Amino acid sequence: MNLKLNRDGLKTIDEHALKSFPRECCGLFFGKFGENVIEVEEVVEADNVLGSPVAFEADAELVFKAIKRAEKSGLELVGIYHSHPKIAAYVSALDSEMMKLWPGVVWLIVSVVEDHILERKAHVLKNDKTEEIEIKTS
């Protein structure tokens, strides 16, 4: 299983993480589930309504509208991303709880410091356990 993301999408996420620092940012991936691949076609930035450095909650109305719009163009919600300011891109206890609420989607976590991105990791939930998957950039 891997995550396919184009350079523009990656850039959107990185810039979002940097401009939100030291707060967490979050957003959505729309695209398609393929065989052993999750293909992202659109990255949508969301507002972190918590404005917190250690947690996020996407603006519910924005999420609802984005899903409706994507459905019209035949895309599904395939993933959720958020940043980890000043800490590694590991799945926190809170993250794994939230992953259970959105089964099937990929979670991309971006570790960010003041002026650059440290690492990006993608995870999926499989049999109640998180599993890291490869990120392929095109």
Which stretches of the chain bind Zn ion, using CB under 5 A? 92, 95
Question: Which residue, judged by CB position, is nearest to Zn ion in the bound state?
Answer: 95
39 catalytic residue (yes or no) = no
Active site residue: 15, 24, 42, 71, which one?
24
Nearer to Zn ion, 26 or 70 (CB): 26
6 or 92, CB closer to Zn ion?
Answer: 92
Rounded Cα distance, 90 and 96, in Å: 10
Q: What gap in Å lies between CA 132 and CA 135, rounded to an integer? A: 9
Q: Which is nearer to Zn ion, 75 or 125 (CB)?
A: 125
Helix (H, G, I), strand (E, B) or coil at 130: strand
Query: Which residue bears the tokens 């509208």?
Result: 65
Whole-number minimum distance, CB 6 to Zn ion, in Å?
A: 24
Phi-psi region of 35 (alpha: psi -120 to 50; beta: other; left: phi over 0): beta
CB of 72 to Zn ion, least distance (A): 30
Tokens 């163009």 belong to: 73
Q: Which residues are designated catalytic?
A: 24
